[in-house]
Amino acid sequence: MPVRRGHVAPQNTFLGTIIRKFEGQNKKFIIANARVQNCAIIYCNDGFCEMTGFSRPDVMQKPCTCDFLHGPETKRHDIAQIAQALLGSEERKVEVTYYHKNGKVHLFRILFT
């Protein structure tokens, strides 16, 4: 029986291709389902978990806006840019201040494609 590696969506060759492509580039990423409310996270790789300090079960099914990483230094303007990026159909880069699970501040550069 194949290992599912943290998927919360049915196996899909398209998703598998994306995951293999980005895993090979040593990227930290999540994949979300744009067809459900809050664009729920359906996959996060180990790099994302290490970077944020959250385990895969902590991350799965959370909104892809990553509200769980917000903190006092996270600017509302940055949050609004992320919301706009999710509504748009073009590639967009956003920089936002997020927090590691242990409270440490990180500047994230996010690419929406």
SS3 annotation, 85-97? HHHCCCCEEEEEE
Q: Residue ranges of the chain with pLDDT lower than 50?
A: 1-4
pLDDT value at residue 101: 95
pLDDT value at residue 10: 55
For residue 39, which amino acid is it? C
pLDDT value at residue 35: 84
- Kindly tell me the burial class for residue 99, based on how many C-beta atoms sit within 10 Å of its own C-beta (0-12, 13-18, 19 or more): buried
| Beta-bridge partner residues of 95 | 109
pLDDT value at residue 21: 78
pLDDT value at residue 25: 80
| pTM to 2 decimal places | 0.78
pLDDT value at residue 1: 43
CATH no., domain 13-112: 3.30.450.20
Q: What b/e sequence results for 43-62 when a residue is b if at least 16 CB atoms lie within 10 Å of its CB, and e otherwise?
A: bbbeebbebbebebeebbeb
pLDDT value at residue 38: 82
| Gap between the Cα atoms of 12 and 89, Å rounded | 22
